[in-house]
Amino acid sequence: MRLSHFFVAAALAGACGSSSNSNNFPTFQACFDEHTQKEGFDTQCAVEICCIAHGIGSAKMNTVCGDTTQSCDAYATANLTVPTDPNLAANIMTGCSSYPLDSGRTTTGTSGMCGS
């Protein structure tokens, strides 16, 4: 099962075409904007990609969104503004619902469709 988490994380990281020289972004918003505006990912996938595959600010990758669906939802909600997405709260929750499994924090739950 852990091997499958590795492949999901690798797929998420491979989906990133960051224009920066590293896998880090100064803010969660900057990461999200690159993945949605430049790479065409939907909100759910961009949230999960930024939570797992990138460092944000001085935080290491796969740390900023915490350990749970709830901590992911709280972090993403506090750090994203998307005026063009009237369903932002629901889209964040959907992205965060797969986060604990796809990030390797749990071995049960539903895996997301990002990077597959």
Domain boundaries, the chain: 2-102
Those residues with Cβ within 8 angstroms of residue 24's Cβ, 6 or more apart along the chain or in another chain? 54, 55, 56, 57, 61
Q: Is the pLDDT of residue 37 over 50?
A: yes
Q: Is the pLDDT of residue 19 over 60?
A: no
Question: What is the mean pLDDT of the segment spanning 16-33?
Answer: 76
pLDDT at 51: 96
Those residues with Cβ within 8 angstroms of residue 5's Cβ, 6 or more apart along the chain or in another chain? 101, 102, 103, 104
pLDDT at 106: 83
Q: How confident is the model at residue 107 (pLDDT cuts 50, 70, 90)?
A: confident
Q: Is the pLDDT of residue 32 over 50?
A: yes
Q: Give me 51's structure tokens.
A: 């939570």
Asked if 56 and 24 touch (Cβ cutoff 8 Å), the reply is yes
